[in-house]
């Protein structure tokens, strides 16, 4: 399997997984903490979490299909950086927890740059 496909599958899987399981199937306690830090009511926090889950699933599917589109890959990088800053601003202690957004997001950003470089190289070789 090529590095392009590994990056594609891993990035799309991450968006899908993080949208489906900790937000849609079962709202994870950590998700509740993050949305509660915004000062929303319990009902609005629930809605925001579910909406974020749907958005992540949609983006994961779009990414899976359009992974060669530079704009989509750059949106992925921007979203991951934005989410990392969001956590740093509202829940900075999460940055030092196990399996934290620093390691997750940086790995996905690295895969995104690999994807950008490999797709660009493949286009130049044609």
The structure tokens listed for 99 are: 């399996």
pLDDT grade for 122, boundaries at 50, 70 and 90: confident
How far apart CA 31 and CA 123 sit, in angstroms, is: 40
Under a CB-based contact definition with an 8 Å cutoff, are residues 2 and 117 in contact?
no
pLDDT of residue 111: 98
Helix or strand or coil: residue 68? coil
Q: Tens digits of per-residue pLDDT, 82-113?
A: 999 999 999 999 999 988 999 999 999 999 99
Mean pLDDT for the stretch of residues 109-126 = 91
User: Do residues 30 and 22 make contact, with C-beta atoms less than 8 angstroms apart?
Assistant: yes
Q: Which of 40, 20, 18 is nearest to 99 (CA)?
A: 18
**Separation CA 11–CA 107 (nearest Å):** 9
Four-residue CA torsion sign, 63, 68, 72, 77? positive
For residue 105, the model assigns a pLDDT of: 97
pTM for this model (two decimals): 0.94
Residue 125 has pLDDT above 90, yes or no: no
Question: For 99, left (φ over 0), alpha (ψ -120 to 50), or beta?
Answer: left
Kind and range of the H or E run holding 4? helix 3-19
Cα torsion for 63, 64, 67, 71, to the nearest 10°? -10
| pLDDT tens for each residue of 41-81 | 989 999 999 999 999 999 999 999 999 999 999 999 999 99
Q: Is the pLDDT confidence value at 126 over 80?
A: no
| pLDDT recorded at residue 117 | 96
The confidence score (pLDDT) of residue 89 equals: 96
């Amino acid at each position: 399997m090529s590095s392009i496909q590994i990056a594609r599958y891993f990035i799309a899987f991450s968006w899908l997984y993080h949208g489906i399981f900790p937000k849609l199937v079962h709202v994870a306690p950590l998700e509740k903490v993050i949305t509660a830090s915004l000062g929303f009511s319990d009902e609005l926090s629930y809605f925001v979490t579910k909406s974020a889950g749907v958005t992540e699933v949609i983006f994961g599917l779009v990414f899976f299909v359009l992974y060669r589109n530079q704009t989509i890959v750059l949106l992925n990088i921007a979203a991951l950086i934005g989410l990392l800053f969001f956590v740093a601003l509202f829940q900075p202690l999460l940055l030092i927890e196990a399996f934290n957004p620093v390691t997750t997001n940086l790995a996905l950003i690295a895969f995104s740059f690999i994807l950008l470089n490999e797709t660009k190289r493949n286009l130049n070789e044609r």
